[in-house]
């Protein structure tokens, strides 16, 4: 099984894919984890793309990240594509919750020494810049062209229902 997960910032993609990977027993790649070096320094895009393509050589995989320009073939070869289209306030709530839980710490879905951050530019990204027409059109394009393999989540209840349907038995608490 090959799975791609995309969507708006702070919608819960990383938590979802960790649970999915555990339930289906497949390796998981968080693109955020390989896109940055310590202290949120961006890595070379070609190197990140090479890492994604190398990961895609696994028989099964799950990749989390809305970096649609990196290794775009992952959407073509994926058996399933999940799109997280939560409203902006739910995403902002998710970012705030995550910041309170992980402030001054590093989450396992990001690079070592990238401490959790919630600043004005990230909030602006969640509310506006990350939702510009181009991104919305990309998600819509995936929904249309990959109609048979796309599942769109608009809220956590849908995510939880899906996870239970595939046999996930752990906590559904937001992480």
Could you report the per-residue pLDDT of 67-109, keeping only the tens digit for each?
999 999 999 999 999 999 999 999 999 989 989 887 876 667 7
pLDDT confidence band for 117 (50 / 70 / 90)? confident
Q: Which residues pair with 17 in a beta bridge?
A: none
Task: Tokens for 152, please give them.
Answer: 């769109």
- Residue among 96, 122, 119, 106 nearest 174 (CA): 96
Q: What are phi and psi of 45, to 5 degrees?
A: -60, -35
Element (H, E) at 141: helix 133-145
Beta strands in 67-149 (DSSP E): 80-84
Q: Rounded to an integer, what distance in angstroms lies between the CA atom of residue 45 and that of residue 111? A: 15
pTM, 2 dp: 0.93
- Residue among 106, 89, 143 nearest 32 (CA): 106
Q: Which residues contact 126 (CB under 8 A, 6 or more apart)?
A: 8, 9, 10, 88, 91, 92, 95
Superfamily of chain region 2-165: P-loop containing nucleotide triphosphate hydrolases (3.40.50.300)
Of the chain, the percentage scoring pLDDT greater than 70 comes to 95
pLDDT digits (tens, 9 = 90+) for 12-63: 999 999 999 999 999 999 998 888 887 678 899 999 999 999 999 999 999 9
Q: State the pairing for strand pair 2-7/150-153.
A: unpaired
| 3-class SS of residue 37 | strand
| 3-class SS of residue 94 | helix
Domain boundaries, the chain: 2-165
Q: Rounded to an integer, what distance in angstroms lies between the CA atom of residue 175 and that of residue 173? A: 6
Answer whether 46's CB lies under 8 Å from 24's CB. no
């Amino acid at each position: 099984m090959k799975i791609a997960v995309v969507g708006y910032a702070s919608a819960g993609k990383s938590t979802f894919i960790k649970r999915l990977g555990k339930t289906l027993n497949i390796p998981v790649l968080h693109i955020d984890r390989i896109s940055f070096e310590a202290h949120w320094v961006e890595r070379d895009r070609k190197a990140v793309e090479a890492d994604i393509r190398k990961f895609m050589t696994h028989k099964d995989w799950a990749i989390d990240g809305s970096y649609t320009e990196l290794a775009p073939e992952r959407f073509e070869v994926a058996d399933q594509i999940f799109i997280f289209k939560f409203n902006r306030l739910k995403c902002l709530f998710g970012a705030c919750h995550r910041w309170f839980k992980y402030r001054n710490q590093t989450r396992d879905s990001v690079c070592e020494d990238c401490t959790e951050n919630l600043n004005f530019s990230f909030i602006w990204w969640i509310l506006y810049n990350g939702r510009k027409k181009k991104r919305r059109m990309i998600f819509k394009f995936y929904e249309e062209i990959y109609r048979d393999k796309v599942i769109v989540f608009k809220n956590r209840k849908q995510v939880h229902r899906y996870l239970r349907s595939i046999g996930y038995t752990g906590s559904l608490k937001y992480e």
